[in-house]
Structure 1
């Protein structure tokens, strides 16, 4: 056998194997690889832990301390300490679950998406994948799928943590344990997935646009925590601006959380980022539309632009 034949055989087999996998095989392989990368990446675990601690602290710890001591603070301003207990029990989980997601949780998911997509440019990973791995769309689709799995995992962990915390409080306070109704709980979990998914997809898009995770994270935090709030403040003064601010991603996410009762105590505007601008169904549809649009635009950019 000639040297040329020997040299070309592995390349031919590699090309044949690559063709045999097809787009679906490339997507599955890329998803497995991205899940492994995210699972081994300490930053992902740090982000998830930070969110879980924030959720536990603001949804349960501060309010329980206020209830147990009979004191008032920023976490229960305008609400008597006695009225806090119902929101700390398992039956209130559907309204508590999404309380911190539109602003603080959304910002953390934005960071996750920006790191997952933007880091590949600085590390040169996208260049390697696109030249040696599957086609661009399946390869990038694996990243989107892996981020989606991470979002599902974080929402599931949040739900479990809320169940444990609320059950523990009920036992300590001698309250009967009433589990939340399945319908409202499913609606709340679905809303949580939409909110977190939208912000994660936004992070992926900005990570692709900037090709820099640090810049993407900075821009995302400024937008979600500062700019949207400023625009809504201006919209209250200028009527025409309201038509824009009412359909912003943060407004849609906050309205969805508000429609799910995230404010608690009949005051949906009491929690940071929770709004009542839109009704539940329009807010859910708008959040879903943003999620799909962000992911589609990011995939389109990755397919056509130079990654060097």
Structure 2
């Protein structure tokens, strides 16, 4: 399995799309978590989203919440695309047969892909934390504010929670890619769910229908938002809201991750490659 994992990591590292997704995730996180609120606090972005959060919310002590706040929605979409590309690309290029002809079994190759995607998800989360740390330190220095950093325990908890959310969304991308045997349709359907459907359910259906409100407690997006909120993410961030406890959220997200990975492996093993 290590050989397959190493090969998949090499493919992800050498694929320009992987670096583009990383760059987009970092830029979006910095823009909406730090730059827009900072500009708004200085009166240069009146009326912009999050412009009223204030400088205090961009300082180092808010690093954990700020770094993972995007994962329930827009950064989660980046991870979903990463998962689709890592697996669905083999269908688009017609390379599954070539890959499997080298000797490893389907599940060995699949396990290597899952491991590579998990490590790539961790790398993106760490990049979000690193970029946030540099930006918040710069803002604190510019404003002459104290740089009170989160404790090591809080940082590790935030990184772990971020990795869980990121891996779960990437897992959804993987299972969609295997189920639909491609790239374009899985990305399209995944983004429709993540960016539109779950937000419509939260904003429109849940306040009107009790069963939808109860269903929200078991859906991946609301649980990711609840976990982010429990670690300090701003409730002004799209998708972030406290609906369930952090223990419930962790259990549900871990369950979805296992479910997505398991279904993807089962479909890949039992169905024809093309």
Common fold by TM > 0.5 = yes
Picking from 250, 261, 272, the partner of 1:295 is 261
Question: So what's the TM-score if we normalise by structure 1?
Answer: 0.85
Question: 1:59-84, CA deviations, whole angstroms, 9 ceiling, x for partnerless residues?
Answer: 1101111122376323236x4xxx61
- Residue 104 of structure 2 is matched in structure 1 by 134
| 2:180 is aligned with 1:210 | yes
| 2:11 is aligned with 1:37 | yes
Picking from 266, 269, 276, the partner of 2:242 is 276
Picking from 217, 223, 228, the partner of 1:257 is 228
Partners of 1:231 and 1:161 lie apart in 2 by: 32
Question: 1:219-267, CA deviations, whole angstroms, 9 ceiling, x for partnerless residues?
Answer: 000010111122232122111222223211111111111111211xxxx
Partners of 2:57 and 2:239 lie apart in 1 by: 18
- Residue 114 of structure 2 is matched in structure 1 by 144
Partners of 1:235 and 1:218 lie apart in 2 by: 24
Q: Relative to structure 2, which stretch is displaced further, 195-204 or 180-189?
A: 180-189
Write out aligned runs for 1:9-20 (5 A). none
Indicate the RMSD between aligned Cα atoms, in angstroms: 1.4
Partners of 1:285 and 1:162 lie apart in 2 by: 27
Q: Which one has the largest radius of gyration?
A: 1
Partners of 2:103 and 2:194 lie apart in 1 by: 35
- Residue 216 of structure 2 is matched in structure 1 by 245
- Residue 98 of structure 1 is matched in structure 2 by 68
Partners of 2:44 and 2:23 lie apart in 1 by: 29
Q: Which has the higher helix share?
A: 1
- Residue 195 of structure 1 is matched in structure 2 by 165
Write out aligned runs for 1:77-92 (5 A). 79=52, 84-92=54-62
Asked if the contact 1:51/1:108 (under 8 Å) is kept, the reply is yes
Question: So what's the TM-score if we normalise by structure 2?
Answer: 0.95
SS at match of 1:101: coil
Question: 1:78-120, CA deviations, whole angstroms, 9 ceiling, x for partnerless residues?
Answer: x4xxx61221111111221111111000011001101111110
Tell me the matched-pair count: 273
